[in-house]
Amino acid sequence: MNDIMKIQFPAKSSCESFARVAVSAFIARYDPTLAEINEIKTAVSEGVTNSIIHGYENENGVIYIECEVRDRQVKIIIADKGKGIEDIERAMTPLFTTNPDGERSGMGFTVMGTFMDKVEVKSLPGVGTRIIMTKTLETAGEEAECG
């Protein structure tokens, strides 16, 4: 079974749990492990929070998510039309944050990279940001073997 889902929703923190649940419900049909579902949910949360806080700076905006599963490879795209990132490499450095109030840890991209197989960031200042994350789900057989 190969499948694709596209959703868009307002960039509000109250919509963050919706995004997480929508993606996990979509992927649940592929029998992921509980760990895989939790890892994907956490990565989605980090990406959506970034779009809300950094991309749109807590102003109105729309977040776009695409989720595709092909041969058990999950591809999730989280996109915004917010302020964009000037230096992507620097932004992805562990502990780097532009959030001035010190509430952010600067570990969002690191968390996404830890929980997903690959994280790619495309961004243009003034245009927006697109994060493409992929992760291959274990097959049911492997899952059973690992107990």
Ligand X SMILES: Nc1ncnc2c1ncn2[C@@H]1O[C@H](COP(=O)(O)OP(=O)(O)O)[C@@H](O)[C@H]1O
Q: Is 142 a catalytic residue?
A: no
71 vs 103, which CB is nearer to Mg ion?
103
95 vs 144, which CB is nearer to Mg ion?
95
Residue 86: other Cβ atoms inside 10 A: 12
- Nearest 5°: the CA angle 123, 77, 75 is 135
Least spacing, CB of residue 95 vs Mg ion, in Å:
11
Least spacing, CB of residue 84 vs ligand X, in Å:
6
Q: Which of 16, 39, 50, 84 binds Mg ion (CB under 5 A)?
A: 50
Q: Is 50 a catalytic residue?
A: yes
Q: Which of 46, 72, 130, 143 is catalytic?
A: 46
Q: Which of 61, 82, 84, 108 binds Mg ion (CB under 5 A)?
A: 108
Residues present in the chain in total: 147
Q: Which of 66, 68, 104, 138 is catalytic?
A: 104
Contact 15, 63 (CB under 8 A): yes
Question: DSSP string spanning 4-19?
Answer: EEEEEEES-GGGHHHH
43 vs 69, which CB is nearer to ligand X?
43
CA distance 35 to 89: 28
| Kind and range of the H or E run holding 21 | helix 16-28
Q: Catalytic amino acids?
A: 46, 50, 104
